[in-house]
Amino acid sequence: MSYALINKLTAKPGQRDRVAQILIESGKLFDDNAACIFSMVSESAQDANVLWVTDLWASREEHEAALKQPELRPFVAEALPLLEGMPEQIEVRPVGGKGFPQ
């Protein structure tokens, strides 16, 4: 079963662009991972400090395994001090739509 998350990250003032760069760069670690079906980093149109990250994975287990990659740790260590608290995660259940694997 697919696993999807919507993540809200609130950057410290003036740090949103840097956090977005870190997220995009760290996401490249999953480019060759077929279990990562979709990943998108978006800026909030309403809040100059907020980023949204939307992920679709083949399974929760594949997602959890990917997050354990040691290559990801430097990106996390760089991004966390630039955030106002920890990211908020909303787990959603995809049911269909354009680009969604049937």
* pLDDT tens, residue by residue, 32-56: 999 999 999 999 999 999 999 999 9
Question: What is the pTM assigned to this prediction?
Answer: 0.91
CATH of domain 3-92: 3.30.70.100
Instruction: Give the DSSP letter string of the chain.
Output: --EEEEEEEEBPTT-HHHHHHHHHHHHGGGTT-TTEEEEEEEE-SS-TTEEEEEEEES-HHHHHHHHT-GGGHHHHHHHGGGBSSSPEEEEE-----TT---
Render pLDDT for 64-73 as a digit per residue (tens, 0 to 9). 999 999 999 9
Please report the pLDDT score of residue 96 as a whole number: 84
Structure tokens at 74: 């430097």
Are residues 48 and 16 in contact, defined by beta-carbon separation less than 8 angstroms? yes
